Structure 1
Amino acid sequence: MRVKKMPVITKISVQKKNQSRYNIFLDKVYAFAVDEDTLIKYHLVKGKELSDQDLTRIQHEDEIRKAYHSAIQFLSYRMRSALEIRVHLQRKEWSDSIIDAVLQELTDRKYIDDYEFAKAYVRTYANSGKKGPIVLKRELTNKGISEDTINAALEEYNKEHQVEDAIRLGDKYAVQYKKLSERMLKRKLEYILSTKGFPFDIIQAALEAIDYEKDEELEWKTLKGEAEKAKRRYKRFTGHEYRQRMQQALFRKGFTIDMINRFLDEDTGEE
């Protein structure tokens, strides 16, 4: 029986556009390319014979190396979770077996660590005061981090720190919405802090500490502006019904009954 002759490496050359990759020629014909790690791992030198099994292993290894370098480039911009890297490589159409091998190597080399990633994520956004624990937990879950890992990472963001951030954020928006009545302002701040991911107990603690000091002259001016709009809506009403509707409309805007009655008394007196 005639034994099939194995191909022989007759030439190895560095690629012009990427000098970390090498072109391999078998029996004087270009066959495939590999990176330096694969070249060294499989002792690819001129004159070496390669079996079909060798070729399959080498080409599979080279696919892993290319996917690995793609993942390293993706990691160069910022830390990533394992799921983010998996999704990135899936979009590049690497097979699951290749991706699994890459993730294992990245883990072994400590290039990815979901716990460290979660801690860094919490520190970044907790220190900025822009995201509360509920939002952080949801976003980390979407990045493939397990609940236990998230909870462990969030231990660094204790309740005292959360309240401080909620107060700081609340004070900022209190200035922005200073034209609102105090009651409406509190409602607005409660809504904003909830959308930022702060839990109910933290929001309530923060609302007690936020500076609501109002400019009485500004609040009176704001009430008068709202009252003029309400007057146009209810001009067809008179007497008690007109007063009641005005009170209800202005109370819904968050103004106190005393301030509303003061306006109505003065407005009626002027008329």
Structure 2
Amino acid sequence: MKEDEHSRLKTYALRLLSRKLRTTFEIEVKLRLYCIRSKMPLAFFPPVVRELTELGLLNDLKYAEAWIIERRKSKYRGDFVIVRELGNKGITKDIIDSAFTLTQKGEDYSENDAAVALLNKKFRLYKNLPKLEAKQKLTDLLFRYGFTYDDANRLVDSIIKREYNSESRN
């Protein structure tokens, strides 16, 4: 009976992994819930997780690297938000730090460039507001996206000066 339950758990885990990449923590949670729903002993899922890790199907470092690259390229996210998201997915601080180190070696990414791109994209929403209100909203926007206070203030000041001064000349 144990072998049958092991294969059911493994099949379920493989089905989950075939849909999208997941962290070890996410798979553990899903398998734990599956065991509870199926009235299986909870001791059955750790060997499945271990086996998937040994096969290379669960690798938190590779997951974190892929997550960092994807979030930076498509979502204009700052490093603070990315770290929090990975932490919420059960990835340890050591693995997150290693993933950031590895992605910065092979990637042409600048957090400032991402923030500037986001500001240029969103500025049109606030350009009709008074200068101080636009500045506050843009700064808050950058905070929500995980950029630092210093970077947010510096970049928002530069875009406010550029945009509001160009309007006054026209």
TM category, shorter: 0.7 to 0.9
Quick check: which one's helix share is greater? 2
Alignment-derived partner of residue 76 in structure 2 = 130
Other-structure match for 2:63: 117
1:185 counterpart = 2:134:
yes
1:78 aligns with 2:78: no
Which residue number corresponds to residue 163 of structure 2? 213
Residue 117 (structure 2) pairs with residue 168 (structure 1)? yes
User: Quick one: distance in 2 between partners of 1:177 and 1:115?
Assistant: 39
CA distance in 2, matches of 1:154, 1:206: 23
Aligned length: 160
TM-score (structure 1 length as normaliser): 0.54
1:62 to 2:4 alignment: yes
Aligned partner letter, 1:143: K
Q: Structure 2: which 5+ residue stretches go unaligned? A: none
Paired letter, 2:91: I
User: Does structure 1 retain, via aligned residues, the 8 Å contact 2:123–2:138?
Assistant: yes
Structure in which a larger fraction of residues adopt strand: 1
Q: Which runs of 5+ in 1 are unaligned?
A: 1-58, 219-271
2:31 corresponds to which residue? 89
Paired position in structure 2 for 1:147: 93
Q: Percent identity?
A: 29
How far apart, in 2, do the equivalents of 1:163 and 1:114 lie? 27
RMSD: 2.3
| 1:171 positional shift | 1.2
The equivalent of 1:52 in structure 2 is: none
Aligned to 1:32: none
Structure 2 vs 1, CA of residues 163 and 136 (structure 1 numbering), >3 Å: closer, same or farther?
same
Structure number with greater CO (CA < 8 Å, separation at least 6) is 2
Q: How many angstroms apart in 1 are the aligned matches of 2:100 and 2:144?
A: 18
1:63-114 CA distance string (max 9 Å, x none)? 1111001001011111100010011112212533211011111001100100
Q: Is the 8 A contact 2:78 2:146 kept in 1?
A: yes
Distance between the aligned counterparts of 1:137 and 1:95, measured in 2? Answer: 34
Distance apart, 1:213 and its partner CA: 1.4
Determine the C-alpha separation between the residues in 1 that align with 2:92 and 2:41: 24
State the structure with more CA Rg.
1
TM-score for both structures, normalised by structure 2: 0.84
Distance in 2 (alpha carbons) for counterparts of 1:195 and 1:140: 16
Alignment of 1:224-239 (within 5 A): none
Counterpart-to-counterpart distance in 2, 1:100 and 1:168: 44
2:149 to 200, 203, 215: 200
Contact 2:31 2:45 in 1 (8 A): yes
Amino acid at match of 2:163: E
Q: Cα–Cα, structure 1 residues 168 and 117, in superposed 2: closer, same or farther, change >3 Å?
A: same
Q: Is 1:98 paired with 2:44?
A: yes
SS at 2:48's partner residue?
helix
Q: Secondary structure at the match of 2:19?
A: coil
CA apart distance, 1:181: 2.1
Deviation of 1:209 (Å): 4.2
Measured after TM superposition, the shift of residue 217 of structure 1 is 9.9
1:216 Cα deviation after fit: 4.2
Cα distance in structure 2, aligned partners of 1:205 and 1:97:
53
Q: 1:206 to 1:181 in 2, by over 3 A?
A: same
Cross-structure match for 1:7: none
Is residue 164–residue 206 contact of structure 1 (8 Å, CA) maintained in 2? no
What SS is found at the alignment partner of 2:110? helix
The structural deviation recorded for 1:154 is: 2.3
